[in-house]
Amino acid sequence: MKVLLVLLDGIADRSQATLGGTTPLQAATLPNLDMLTGSGACGHVYPLGPGVCPSLDLSRWHQLGYGARQYPGRAAIDALGAGVVLQPDDVVIHVSLAATMIDAGERYVQASPAKLPDDQAAEIASALAAYVPEHFPATVHHLGGPFMALVLRGGANPLVSDSDPVFFRNPVPGIAAIDGAPEAASLTARECERFSHWASETITSHPVIRRREADGVTSPNYVLMKWASTPPDVPTLREEWGFTGALVSDDVFHAGLARALGMSFVEQRAADAADDLGAKLAAALDCLWEEQDLAVIGCAAAAEASRSGKPDRKVRVCEEMDSAFEPFTRTMLYEPDLLTVITAGYAAPSGGSDEVLNSGDSVPFVALGGNSRVDGVEAFDEVACATGSLGCLRALDCMPLLLNISDRARMGSMRVGHRDRPYR
């Protein structure tokens, strides 16, 4: 049986006063998602646990069944997705260009990531690649747009803090070793601090920035660093869960995650929410009919709508995404060899608060087709799905559920081969 896992990141929300106390999903008209929901079994998922605010990367790590393993960190995964060749002992730090200001002796973020054309960002990245390190051999790699990766070799340690404050009201912190980390982490932190200050001088003196400032355009003058990590060293998805897999999305993180887990990566991107999801659904189904057992879709259109701070806009985007399902509902409902699961990696409140990006609220979960039960829930939203037969789940439960409903799970006492594995 083939499995289609559709992850509509950020589609779950909170009750919004401007929508009469409903969530955007409850306020939206969703004929296709509601029909699919009414044909399956429902539940609700806390990606990392009740009240724990998940990031995209940690949520995906858990959803794809690796939550019991040490998470290596996002920067190395992004670097893999951009084609950077990494050594096992490399430490990778994510670098983003930012516009900052000094107020009362503290540095604050004005714009992060900085907005500038790709060709200008590439020129600045090229200049930063000339960095001469003090403690560890270092290289700088452009990841696209205002993003780069600093790769440290020769004994660096990833147990260092971030300089990205995430929320603009917070000052930019210094980079330091995490409490209890070895001496190598202190040297790594000092190298990162040294790079930050050198990068600031290099950026502000760059001809691209001088031209922008002469034109009165807000420009980057600093770099923010975060997500220090090491390359993933885990079994492939096929080894861990018995599925050959494809990941369909549009960013370097998903490309890197696919590479780390031995999955194929299919890049699909469109500006319109309906076109974007529709293209990803079509590509994922093509992967399943051609050779893959599992196709995973990552779609962030709802999360992007949440960042606008306008719940009514998110309602419209939810309805656009619903329309993308229409050409595929017959396949999802009646193809006997297809299990479809629709859920999300995290909830993203759309109320306009500058205090939260992703929240620790649960997200809907629907499984239909194949051997799935039908539990009578008729609406795809946070409250209705929570009443379904699957109950309250964690992202860690996703892969075991897929194995079970697709008849791939082993019985608990079975011993198959030399590895303790959850599939037959």
| Sign of CA pseudo-dihedral 229, 230, 233, 238 | positive
Domains of the chain: 2-69+234-405 (3.40.720.10), 79-229 (no CATH)
Tens of pLDDT along the chain (424 residues)?
A: 999 999 999 999 999 999 999 999 999 999 999 999 999 999 999 999 999 999 999 999 999 999 999 999 999 999 999 999 999 999 999 999 999 999 999 999 988 888 899 999 999 999 999 999 999 999 999 999 999 999 999 999 999 999 999 887 789 999 999 999 999 999 999 999 999 999 999 999 999 999 999 999 989 999 999 999 999 999 999 999 999 999 999 999 999 999 999 999 999 999 999 999 999 999 999 999 999 999 999 999 999 999 999 999 999 999 999 999 999 999 999 999 999 999 999 999 999 887 889 999 999 999 999 899 999 999 999 999 999 999 999 999 999 999 999 999 988 777 767 777 899 8
Q: Could you tell me if 113 and 145 are in contact, meaning their C-beta atoms sit under 8 angstroms apart?
A: yes
First to last CA, the chain: 13
Q: Could you tell me if 363 and 12 are in contact, meaning their C-beta atoms sit under 8 angstroms apart?
A: yes
The confidence score (pLDDT) of residue 411 equals 84
Residues 6+ apart with CB under 8 A from 413: none
Cα separation values, 421 from 235, 237, 241, 285, 424, Å = 11, 12, 7, 27, 8
Task: Provide the 10 A C-beta neighbour count for residue 403.
Answer: 20
Q: Could you tell me if 191 and 135 are in contact, meaning their C-beta atoms sit under 8 angstroms apart?
A: yes
The confidence score (pLDDT) of residue 418 equals 72
| Sign of CA pseudo-dihedral 70, 72, 77, 80 | negative
Q: What are phi and psi of 183, to 5 degrees?
A: -60, -30
Is pTM beyond 0.75? Reply is yes
Task: Provide the 10 A C-beta neighbour count for residue 194.
Answer: 17
The confidence score (pLDDT) of residue 167 equals 82
Give the residue among 340, 321, 382 at the shortest CA–CA distance from 8. 321
Q: Could you tell me if 196 and 175 are in contact, meaning their C-beta atoms sit under 8 angstroms apart?
A: yes
Cα separation values, 239 from 102, 118, 424, Å = 51, 38, 12
Q: 3-state SS of the chain?
A: CEEEEEEECCCECCCEHHHCCECHHHHCCCHHHHHHHCCEEEEEEECCCCCCCCCHHHHHHHHCCCCCCCCCCHHHHHHHHCCCCCCCCCEEEEEEEEEEEEECCEEEEEECCCCCCHHHHHHHHHHHCCCCCCCCCEEEEEEECCEEEEEECCCCCCCECCCCCCCCCCECCCCCECCCCCHHHHHHHHHHHHHHHHHHHHHHCCHHHHHHHHCCCCCCCEEEEEEEECCCCCCCHHHHHCCCEEEEECCHHHHHHHHHCCCEEEECCCCCHHHHHHHHHHHHHHHHHHCCCEEEEEECHHHHHHCCCCHHHHHHHHHHHHHHHHHHHHHHHHCCCEEEEEECCCECCCCCCCCCCCECCCEEEEEEECCCCCCCCCCCCHHHHCCCCCEEEEHHHHHHHHHHHCCCECCCCCCCCCCCCCEC
- In the structure encoding, which two tokens stand for residue 15, read together? 């009750």
Q: Could you tell me if 124 and 222 are in contact, meaning their C-beta atoms sit under 8 angstroms apart?
A: no
Q: Which amino acid is at 146?
A: P
Q: Which amino acid is at 360?
A: G
Instruction: Look at the block and give the residue holding tokens 């500006």.
Output: 271
Residues 6+ apart with CB under 8 A from 291: 244
